[in-house]
Amino acid sequence: MSGKQETEKQKKEKLLQYRKQIDRLDEQLIRTLAERHKVIREVFSNKISDSAVIRDAQREEKLLKKVRETALEEGIDPYFTEQLFRDIIYQSVRFQSHSLLDHQNDKLEVRTITVSYQGTRGAYSHQAAMRHFGERYDDVRCIGFKTFEQAAIAMEEGETDVAILPIENTTAGSINDTYDLLADKELHIIGEEVLKVNHCLMTTEPVSVDTIRRILSHPQAISQCSRFLAELNHTQIDPYTDTAMAAKKVMEDGDPTQAAIASSYAAELYDLHILAKDLANQPGNFTRFVIVSRDPIVCDPQIPTKTSLMLATVHEKGALLQCLNVLDKYGINMTKLESRPRIGKPWQYLFYVDLEGNRDESNMKQALREIENKAAHFKILGCYPAQSEV
């Protein structure tokens, strides 16, 4: 019996040593990535001086080929390894693109930025802001507000440098409040951020989901998790100002029958227990945010770019089609078309359009000029770097 107990003890000690070894290797991986990023910064500094291109597609393909070959030699899944390195390359290109953008707009030496957003610390907008600016600035100061409009006004009045606003979600669709703000205010889109959203159910204690009687969350999150919530027959679903604010209230109330739907980051911040994860109707749940500023920016031609505009057509048959035909004429790809009622003009609509390309390119310039001549109302919302996957 004693020998058997000793064997079990030895197994536990050996497992503990393996885990410690894995922890050391993980730390080494992080340090190596940090060292790689330092080199990328140096590479970017040289590219500014000699005007070299940010992305070398041929070199990337050679690198990925070598990665696959080395992975096979080392007995690692080459598909997994390639995807990992694609993410690493993407982050490198993303950093260099943003740095070039800051350089061209005389912001490379600016080390602090203030960002207004709707919600509180731990909200998805807060996470998107930190992801977008955290690598570019030494100090990112995020200021939360109760509404999207308050966040936009804070930026307009100079309280913050920029505002970040959610504009569409892959599950719930367009976020109309943001489109209406773009129509009503002088906001210039200067960037976008796409965030993978993982909605979690959380409360103060590790209880069964069946014991939850009230769930709080932002209306958008509730909409995105409608199938999961529909199965909770004895639970009251209440809209709340923000996902993170809902998590904070659950923490403050201390009632284990009350839960919030928010991010795992919010659960960590407010010391809540996660009862269920991945609650969205679709497994791939992403929210796209736009960064807006008081002034437009200039984008280098080598940066993949979007141009967003807003227009109202004249009240004639086929007026919208005439505008869209202009895009086909100049070979411009449209990635988004959204309509919203025109405020103060019953039965008239504003159309929001996202186009691939830079507003300063020759074809785009001509196309925009022709569309403006055909439209009853026309406004360019911004030209900014497009976020794309590798």
Exactly one of 289, 305, 307, 351 is catalytic; name it: 289
Residues 6 or more apart from 32 whose CB is under 8 A from it? Answer: none
Half-sphere exposure of 142 (CA within 13 A, CB side): 22
Q: What is the mean pLDDT of the chain?
A: 90
145 is catalytic: no
Contact 200, 279 (CB under 8 A): yes
120 is catalytic: no
Q: How far is C-alpha 76 from the geometric centre of its chain's CA atoms?
A: 31
The pLDDT tens digits for 85-118 are: 999 988 888 888 888 888 888 887 778 999 999 9
Exactly one of 171, 204, 287, 307 is catalytic; name it: 287
Residue with tokens 């739907």: 261
More reliable by pLDDT, 106 or 209: 209
Res 282 pLDDT > 50 = yes
The residue among 124, 52, 36 whose CA lies nearest residue 84 is 36
The pLDDT tens digits for 219-243 are: 989 999 999 999 998 999 999 989 9
Res 170 pLDDT > 60 = yes
Question: What's the length of the chain?
Answer: 390
For position 328, what pLDDT does the model report?
93
And the tokens for 272?
Answer: 């809540």
pLDDT band at 171 (very low <50, low <70, confident <90, very high): confident
And the tokens for 38?
Answer: 């330092």
Residues 6 or more apart from 215 whose CB is under 8 A from it? Answer: 201, 229, 232, 235, 236, 237, 238, 258, 259, 260, 261
For position 91, what pLDDT does the model report?
85
For position 390, what pLDDT does the model report?
37
pLDDT band at 52 (very low <50, low <70, confident <90, very high): low
Res 44 pLDDT > 80 = no
Q: How far is C-alpha 126 from the geometric centre of its chain's CA atoms?
A: 10
Q: Is 357 left (phi over 0), alpha (psi -120 to 50) or beta?
A: left
More reliable by pLDDT, 316 or 385: 385
Across the strands, what pairs with 313?
375
Question: What secondary structure letter does DSSP report for 180?
Answer: H
Pairing of strands 200-203, 273-276: antiparallel
Q: Which element (helix H / strand E) includes 341?
A: strand 334-341
Res 159 pLDDT > 70 = yes
Helix axes 57-73, 78-104, angle to 10 degrees: 150
And the tokens for 192?
Answer: 């976008």
For position 345, what pLDDT does the model report?
77
Out of 8-17, 269-278, 360-369, pick the least confident: 8-17
Contact 126, 266 (CB under 8 A): no
Cα-based distances in Å from 191 to 90, 132, 169, 275, 337: 17, 9, 17, 35, 18
- The three-point CA angle 114-116-121 to 5° equals 95
And the tokens for 140?
Answer: 């990112």
More reliable by pLDDT, 137 or 4: 137
Res 347 pLDDT > 80 = no
Q: Is 174 left (phi over 0), alpha (psi -120 to 50) or beta?
A: beta
Residue with tokens 């020759």: 362
Q: Domains of the chain by range and CATH?
A: 2-100 (1.20.59.10), 112-197+286-291 (3.40.190.10), 200-276 (3.40.190.10), 298-385 (3.30.70.260)
Across the strands, what pairs with 142?
115
Q: What's the whole-number mean pLDDT along residues 353-360?
A: 95
Residues 6 or more apart from 374 whose CB is under 8 A from it? Answer: 313, 314, 319, 322, 323, 326
pLDDT band at 4 (very low <50, low <70, confident <90, very high): low
d(C-alpha 335, C-alpha 352), whole Å: 11
Res 3 pLDDT > 60 = no
The residue among 355, 309, 199 whose CA lies nearest residue 263 is 199
